[in-house]
Amino acid sequence: MQNFQSKDPMQPGFWNERFETRFTPWDKGGVPQALQDFVARAEHPLVTLIPGCGIGYEAAFLAQSGWDVTAIDFSPAAVASAKAAIGEWGKHVVEADFFQYHPARPLGLIYERAFLCALPPAMRLQIVQRWAALLAAGGVLAGFFYLDDTAGRSLKGPPFSISSAELQALMTPYFELLEDHGVDDSIPVFVGKERWQVWRRLPAA
């Protein structure tokens, strides 16, 4: 069992320690099938932001697919690991804090994987509101959500699971749900509790 100094996932140091020691149990090591299917179905490439990208396999995949993608992470060790892992596509990975970052171009897509569940539940409203602020009406948030509707679900994390009802309540002031289905290529940490969802930004009320 690893004994880490940093216990606060709100701090870059928490993630630095884990990337530096290669303790990254959330890392899929590749591009999830549902994202590949989404890209294959898309009518045209979308300007895409990946918050909290980690190694950023998806950034490499989207860039290779001709999409305009920027992947951000506030952990210098994560960014260094990404740049080492994805070679020439590493130029799409930028060290930045999601809550401060301003995209250079209007976004069509925000891609979510293991970012919402990485931060403490108290941050959820801020994350959803930041997603909403970054997308104009019609813009899309798509990705993977770590859901758990069982009564005895663990409140310890990361990863922090969220109930379907809480996610719905947080999202519906800003987004409408377009797609929602199970995932059959989850890594062990998320297996059985991961869903692919696509949410469309509503016009501001």
Ligand X SMILES: C[S@@+](CC[C@H](N)C(=O)[O-])C[C@H]1O[C@@H](n2cnc3c(N)ncnc32)[C@H](O)[C@@H]1O
β-pairing, 135-146 vs 194-201, is antiparallel
Nearer CB in complex with ligand X: 34/55: 55
Residue corresponding to tokens 């501001």: 204
Position 146 contacts ligand X (CB under 6 A): no
Q: Which stretch binds ligand X (CB under 6 A): 35-43, 70-78, 162-170, 180-188?
A: 70-78
Give the one residue of 89, 98, 160, 199 binding ligand X; rule: CB under 6 A: 98
Q: Would you tell me how many other CB atoms lie within 10 Å of the CB of residue 129?
A: 14
Number of residues that bind ligand X (CB under 6 A): 21
φ, ψ (nearest 5 deg) of residue 92: -85, -5
Q: What are the C-alpha distances in Å from 44 to residues 47, 103, 127, 154?
A: 10, 20, 27, 40
Give the one residue of 49, 52, 116, 132 binding ligand X; rule: CB under 6 A: 52
Nearer CB in complex with ligand X: 128/205: 128
Picking from 108, 116, 119, the residue whose alpha carbon sits closest to that of residue 14 is 119
Shortest CB 190 distance to ligand X, Å: 10
Residue corresponding to tokens 């950034």: 59
Position 32 contacts ligand X (CB under 6 A): no
Shortest CB 97 distance to ligand X, Å: 4
Q: Kindly write out the interface string for residues 166-195 of this chain, putting x where it contacts ligand X by CB under 6 A and - elsewhere.
A: ------------------------------
* Helix boundaries (H) for the chain: 12-20, 33-41, 57-64, 76-86, 124-134, 164-171
Shortest CB 29 distance to ligand X, Å: 9
What does the binding site for ligand X look like in residue numbers (CB under 6 A)? 15, 26-27, 51-55, 72-75, 78, 97-99, 113-115, 118-119
